Amino acid sequence: MDICRIPTPAYVIDEKKMKENLEILRDTADQAGCKILLAQKAFSGFCEYPLIARYLAGATASSLHEAKLGHEEMGKENHIFSCAYRPEEIREIAEICDHIVVNSYSQLEKYGETIASLHPAGHTGIGLRINPECSTQTDHAIYDPCAPGSRFGVTSIRLKEAIRRNPEAWKYVEGIHFHTLCEQNSDDLETTLQAVEDKFGDILSQPQIRWLNMGGGHHITRPDYDRQRLIRLVRHMKETYRVEVYLEPGEAIALNAGYLVTEVMDQVENGITTLILDASAACHMPDVIEMPYRPPLRDSGEPDEKAFTYRLSSCTCLSGDIIGDYSFDHEVKEGERLYFEDMAIYSMVKNNTFNGIGLPSIWAMDESGDCRLIRRFGYEDFKNRLS
Ligand SMILES: *Cc1c(COP(=O)(O)O)cnc(C)c1O
């Protein structure tokens, strides 16, 4: 079906764009000699996992549920990081995950032996997340894992103290993980790696450390991303420390590879004209309010840039459920369709049914532009979570 005819609201995954992203990622991994994983927290549209599996080394998870999804639907390397693991979940996690990254020395002491015993001899699969205490962005403070007081990762001083106190637990660690970037270029990775080498170079040099996972936030598929620098940095880390290098971007895999199609239901006049859409920022694109950011909208401009300016909002009762002010060349009418862009990432994975607003259906668009329905949602999906 043509995208102009599918019922709204609907998320549409653009497989052509996704393939282009995946080709860039595979080429980068080949040239750098590293492995790239899908961070499922950004995109878990598992109907596309067979496609993604043709290009990437596997998936990474933030929870048991994501780990199970990666295990069932991707079936390649399966990794996980969580701030803390539940005792009743750790065995299942260890059975389905190749790498398990812990966030603290106390989690290492608690689970090191159990995890190691469930993995092949000589490969514990255990990594420790470090905190290089190096903030490289100020635009999105809520996404800065290096901010003072951050709960993420062990700082170098505390790690050295902990190893001295309990050297036995340290023996289980075979990998180091850091994740400090968000939508950033490779110059910020270079700055971060400088801090990592300064603070943890002696740790990385230990023969027991076999791999280094450099987390996500690498905006590799953005046109201005400096891939050659990334490739150089990965090679440098591999050669200096004799480690296998992993990257686990989420955004980069599905960047600009999806749309949210919505229809104008009504217009309200009160000094400014508000278009009431059948899609909501609060329910269907929560990052617009959380991050916050302005989603790209096809054929639109900044307020007053084009002849007709409107405020775009929804049916929820939240006054602040406003997507933004946009302008158009023509007068927008009830029943008209709008296409929000870059809607594959952090959208479907974060949506909700606040106010009982329905969830958008999910469609996939193939390379010829033909859309097929992946899943539709209804009243039961709302009701089943509530009692
Ligand atoms: C969020 C996150 C990712 C993915 O980040 P993107 O910004 O989507 O690339 C990868 N690893 C960890 C540990 C994360 O928290």
Kindly state the average pLDDT of the residues 116-121.
95
Domains annotated on the chain, with CATH: 33-253 (3.20.20.10), 258-343+351-384 (2.40.37.10)
- Residue 324 Cβ inside 6 Å of ligand 1? The answer reads no
Tens of pLDDT, residue by residue over 63-77, are: 999 999 999 999 999
CA of 216 to the centre of ligand 1 (A): 4
DSSP at 74? I
Q: How many of the other CB atoms lie within 10 Å of CB of 69?
A: 18
Tens of pLDDT, residue by residue over 130-165, are: 999 999 988 878 899 999 999 999 999 999 999 999
CB 316 within 8 A of CB 380: no
- Residue 358 Cβ inside 6 Å of ligand 1? The answer reads no
Ligand 1 atom closest to the Cα of residue 183 is 7
Q: Measured on CA atoms in the order 101, 103, 105, 108, is the torsion positive or negative?
A: negative
How would you classify the pairing of strands 361-365 and 337-341?
unpaired
- Residue 250 Cβ inside 6 Å of ligand 1? The answer reads yes
How would you classify the pairing of strands 258-270 and 244-247?
unpaired
- Residue 145 Cβ inside 6 Å of ligand 1? The answer reads no
- Nearest one of 173, 204, 221 to 38, comparing CA atoms: 221
- Tell me the three-class secondary structure of 15-69, residue by residue: HHHHHHHHHHHHHHHHHHCCEEEEECCCCCCHHHHHHHHCCCCEEEECCHHHHHH
Tens of pLDDT, residue by residue over 281-309, are: 999 999 999 988 999 999 999 999 999 99
Residue nearest atom 3 in ligand 1 by C-alpha distance: 216
Nearest-5° Cα angle at 154, 58 to 251: 35
Q: How many of the other CB atoms lie within 10 Å of CB of 72?
A: 12
- Residue 217 Cβ inside 6 Å of ligand 1? The answer reads yes
Q: Residue 269 — pLDDT band, cuts 50, 70, 90?
A: very high
Rg (CA), the chain: 22
Residue to probe by mutation, ligand 1, list 62, 103, 139, 212, most atoms within 8 Å of CB: 62
Q: With a threshold of 0.95, does the pTM exceed it? A: yes
Fill in the amino acid letter for 52: I
pLDDT above 90 (res 193): yes
CA of 132 to the centre of ligand 1 (A): 16
Residue to probe by mutation, ligand 1, list 41, 103, 188, most atoms within 8 Å of CB: 41
> Which pLDDT score, from 0 to 100, does residue 206 have?
98
CB 340 within 8 A of CB 299: no
CA of 295 to the centre of ligand 1 (A): 20
- Residue 39 Cβ inside 6 Å of ligand 1? The answer reads yes
For residue 2 the two structure tokens come to 């043509």
- Residue 175 Cβ inside 6 Å of ligand 1? The answer reads no
Q: How many of the other CB atoms lie within 10 Å of CB of 352?
A: 14
d(CA 349, CA 92): 23
Tokens 């870059």, residue located: 342
> Which pLDDT score, from 0 to 100, does residue 262 have?
98
Which residues define the annotated binding site for substrate?
Answer: 251, 287
d(CA 226, CA 220): 8
